[in-house]
Structure 1
Amino acid sequence: MTNKAEKYIEYLENSAFPYTIELKDQPEQIKDYLEGIYNTIVLKDIVNRKKITDVMMLKSILRYVFDNIGNPLSSKKIADTMTTNGRKVDSRTIEKYLEAFMESYIVYKAKRYNIKGKQYLKTLEKYYVVDIGLRYMLLGSRKMDAGHILENIVYLELLRRGYDVYVGKIDTFEVDFVAQNQKGNHYFQVALSVRDEKMLERELRSLYSIKDNYPKYLLTMDDDPKQDFDGICKMNARDWLLENDD
């Protein structure tokens, strides 16, 4: 395993909160620290500020969002799932809780953007979490969905680089991220591996559908050299994370 691969796994398990660096190789202390952050944000901040009475429901919804990073979600879908599981709740309550999570910067919402129509859409947003280590602490390793976790990490890095980030729609295809700044758009597809030819074709298809000349990237975990597919830059996601934004 390369040093970059080891660092990536360490980042996933240990969190990106600054203090965790000082707790390196102390997993129990890191867990305690992350639990402290979780309890402070959820119990003290959100519950008190929003005057939440059903704390168990609040925690259940947060776990659900953490468990569904990168999946299209709506307040109705979450409410229906909770009700099916025996915890009846309405969509308005879900919206209130989601808004509280976002106000506390524990969860981020990526709205959808119609690339061809150049308009923002109001349905089927995706949610991403502020820290993968926090998700790992809350859900455990059995919930380590590597593909969506990589997507989450790319999303956070795009925010860090100063972009406004949306989920793209082009005809019937989806682009994982449309990253916008004053210079224009950058387009990103994120996949664990595209060494299978059909998978490569599928991931490139949506980017090929975009006819403008803004930069387009396919980021994967494959340890392969950079490649160019008709202007689409395919590269290792860890390398992209470590480079300076252009």
Structure 2
Amino acid sequence: MIKREMYMKRIRPFIGNDLIKVMTGIRRAGKSVMLELIQEELIASGIDADNFICINFEDLRNVHLLNAMALHEEILKRAEQLKGKVYLFFDEIQEVEDWEKCINSFRVSLDCDIYITGSNAKLLSGELATYLGGRYVEFVIYPFSFLEFLELYHTVNPTASVQECFQKYLLVGGMPYLSNIRYEEEPSKQYLSDLFNSVQLKDIVKRNKVRDVDLLERIIAYVMANVGTTFSASSLVKFLKNEHRTTSTDTVLNYIKYCCDSYLFYQVKREDLQGKQILTTNEKYYIADHGIREAVFGGNMRDINLVLENIVYMELVRRGYKVTVGKTGTKEIDFVCEQRGEKLYVQVAYLLADESTVNREFGVYDTIRDNFPKYVVTMDEIDMSRNGIKHRNIRDFLTADEWN
């Protein structure tokens, strides 16, 4: 089991205090493992594991606990038999009806430390915030980074070079379970397809009561095909019209929001760097795991420039950056990243094949006059850094401890 220290470092300061720890992210990204890692940490600090109450609400054995009152009674009954602080671990809490009232009640009535996971952003934007405003802290858990993938893939294939590992990562992505099937091509594809179907059915269709599943599938396919490409809801409506499907921009936007709420897609807004304002049209979208794209849609190697961009975006948010797409005049910088007042600029391309490509990729920084780090990230093996702009091979970029 990979220790996922990147997340533990963020969670550790909150262990043992009265804030509710909430772990969200796409289904099967490793949220349950994070609960196990936290339990290990608590045991190592001297906490008795008998004081843990752990419930996974997708386990049919817990089906009788899927409403707030039943869960409330069960936990109070178990807690009465324990001495000292109780540690509550609830996996996929959104399956419980009115769960947020229940969690709030535990916080008030029990001496407890609460950890919950869920696969829907509405956990925080709506239900949780209403009852627990200011009393929780959120951690988004993402699929494996390339560095984590590298560590695990080497347990399956110890002799693989970093280049070979990256080629594999390009196709299968970073969903943790794949190591159990040794990253074999067909089983991996089958697993990722089934995972996608589960996200679509349970976290999008069922949760949002989507009636027109065919329309949803077409919209998802369009967004997958166009990861990293700016488009508007109206352009998608026109595309669907050509497919003989009439719909409204509101419906398109709602369906895409459902996908973002389930952590399948991430929306990235555009920012005018000269006017210093967020633009309200033509956002970009990235998929949580590019391996899902390959399994469901295909073409990761054909669309490698888009997939590389997707991989870099996910690494940036994984490391805690707030990311926008930068517009400067007629040019566009792939990623403008901000963290604790510090900025980072990243431009992603497949290969710097000729001088015109070099001029285009480095030239996007011509009007940026600040001294924050600026990168061009590609698959090239030769360093072409110039004019203070750093050129990095994508493998080196993804495995670097920090960017400065």
Q: TM-score range with shorter-chain normalisation?
A: over 0.9
Equivalence for 1:130: 288
2:347/2:377 contact within 8 Å kept: yes
**C-alpha separation between the residues in 2 aligned to 1:185 and 1:142?**
30
- Checking the alignment, whether the CA contact within 8 Å between 2:237 and 2:252 is kept in structure 1 is yes
Q: Does 1:107 align with 2:265?
A: yes
Query: 1-side partners of 2:179 and 2:337: how far apart?
Result: 29
Helix, strand or coil at the partner of 2:316: helix
Q: Which moved more, 1:100-109 or 1:201-210?
A: 201-210
Matching residue's letter, 2:338: Q
Alignment counterpart, residue 399 of structure 2, candidates 238, 242, 245: 242
TM-score by length of 2: 0.58
The reply on whether 1:117 has 2:275 as its aligned counterpart is yes
Q: 1:95 and 2:253 equivalent?
A: yes
SS of alignment partner, residue 165 of structure 2: helix
Answering whether residue 358 of structure 2 is matched by residue 200 of structure 1, we say yes
In structure 1, how many angstroms separate the alpha carbons of the residues matched to 2:277 and 2:250?
A: 26
Find runs of 4+ consecutive structure 1 residues off by over 6 angstroms: none
> Where in structure 2 are there 5+ consecutive unaligned residues?
1-159
Query: What amino acid is the match of 2:398?
Result: L
Q: How far off its partner does 1:143 sit?
A: 7.1
Q: How many residues align?
A: 244
Are 1:110 and 1:165, in contact at CA under 8 Å, matched by a contact in 2? yes
Rg (Cα) greater in structure = 2
For residues 310 and 400 of structure 2, the distance between their equivalents in structure 1, rounded to whole angstroms, comes to: 18
AA matched with 2:250: R
Q: Percent identity?
A: 38
Measure the CA separation in 1 of the matches of 2:217 and 2:301: 17
Normalising by structure 1, we get a TM-score of 0.95
- Cα distance, 1:172 vs structure 2: 1.6
3-state SS in 1 of match to 2:401: coil
2:270 and 2:300 map into 1 onto residues whose CA distance is 29
CA-to-aligned-CA distance 1:40-69 (integer Å, 9 cap, x gap): 110122111111111111111101100001
For 1:47-196, what aligned pairs fall within 5 Å after superposition?
47-141=205-299, 144-196=302-354
Report if the CA contact (8 A) 1:136-1:144 is conserved.
no
**Deviation readout 1:157-213 (Å, 9 max, x if unpaired):** 000111011100112211011011113211111111114111101111111220111
- Change over 3 Å in CA distance of 1:143–1:215 after alignment to 2: closer
Q: Which ranges in structure 1 are unaligned for 5 or more consecutive residues? A: none
In structure 2, what is the Cα distance between the partners aligned to 1:224 and 1:233? 12
Q: Distance in 2 between matches of 1:230 and 1:31?
A: 43
- By how many angstroms is 1:147 displaced? 0.4
- Alignment check: 8 A CA contact 1:161 1:245 kept: no
1:12 and 1:130 mapped to 2: Cα distance?
A: 13
Q: CA separation in 1, counterparts of 2:295 and 2:214?
A: 18
Instruction: Give, in whole Å, the separation in 2 of the partners of 1:231 and 1:128.
Output: 29
Check conservation: 1:67, 1:143, Cα contact below 8 A.
Answer: no
> Secondary structure at 2:385's aligned position in 1?
strand
> Following superposition of structure 1 onto structure 2, how do residues 16-35 of structure 1 map, counting pairs within 5 Å?
16-35=174-193
Deviation at 1:25, TM superposition (A): 4.1
